[in-house]
Amino acid sequence: PTQDNLNTFVEYVWAFNISRIIMLTPTVTYNTRHCYEYWPTSVKLPLNCGDIQIELVASVTRADWIKRTLSLRKEGFGSPRQIEQYQFKSSPDTCVDPSVLLSVRRYILKSKRTCNAPCGPVLVHGGHNFDMAGTYIAIEESLDRMEDTKSVQIFNFVLHLRKKNPRMVETLQSYQLIYQTVILHTLCDDTSLTRNKMDGLLKFLLLRCPDSGKSGFDVEFGLLNKLTPSLTTGDCAAGHRRENKMKNRQNYALPRDSCRPYLSTVVGYRENDYINAVYVNSFHREREFIVTQWPLENTKDDMWRMMYDCEVATLVLLDHITTRFASW
For residue range 161-209, what is the model confidence (pLDDT) as tens digits? 999 999 999 999 999 999 999 999 999 888 888 889 999 999 999 999 9
Q: In the predicted model, what is the mean pLDDT of the chain? A: 89
pLDDT band (50, 70, 90) for residue 293: very high
Considering the domain architecture, whether residues 167 and 244 belong to the same structural domain is answered as no
Q: Is residue 218 assigned to a domain?
A: no
165 and 273 together in one domain: no
The answer to the question of residue 199 being in a domain is no
29 located within any domain: yes
User: Do 32 and 160 fall within a single domain?
Assistant: yes
> Considering only CA atoms, which of 24, 30, 10 is closest in space to residue 100?
24
* Domain match, 184 and 241 both: no
Q: How far apart are CA 216 and CA 163, in angstroms?
A: 46
What are the pLDDT digits (tens) for 222-255?
A: 999 999 988 999 999 999 999 999 999 998 999 9
**Could you tell me if 37 and 181 lie in one domain?**
yes
- Asked if 64 and 87 count as a contact pair (C-beta separation under 8 A), the reply is no
Tally of CB atoms within 10 A around 140: 17
Answer yes or no: is 125 within a domain: yes
Domain span at residue 245 reads 237-323
Is residue 90 a part of any domain in this protein? yes
Q: Are residues 167 and 249 part of one domain?
A: no
Total of domains in the chain: 2
Tell me, yes or no, whether 61 and 181 share the same domain. Answer: yes
In a domain, 51, yes or no: yes
Q: Are residues 182 and 304 in the same domain?
A: no
Contact in structure between 239 and 273 (CB atoms under 8 Å): no
- Does the pLDDT value for residue 325 go beyond 60? no
User: 128: domain CATH number?
Assistant: 3.90.190.10
Do 67 and 146 have their domain in common? Answer: yes
Write a three-state SS string for 155-197.
HHHHHHHHHHCCCCCCCHHHHHHHHHHHHHHHHHCCCCCCHHH
**Looking at residue 92, what DSSP letter applies?**
T
Q: Where are the alpha helices (DSSP H) in the chain?
A: 6-15, 98-113, 131-149, 154-164, 172-188, 198-206, 216-227, 237-240, 300-309
Whether 118 maps to a domain, the answer reads yes
Whether 299 is covered by a domain: the verdict is yes
Same domain, yes or no, for 10 and 156?
Answer: yes
Residues 69 and 177 in one domain: yes
- Check: pTM over 0.95? Answer yes or no: no
Last-in-domain residue among 162, 188, 214: 188
Say whether both 114 and 45 belong to one domain.
yes
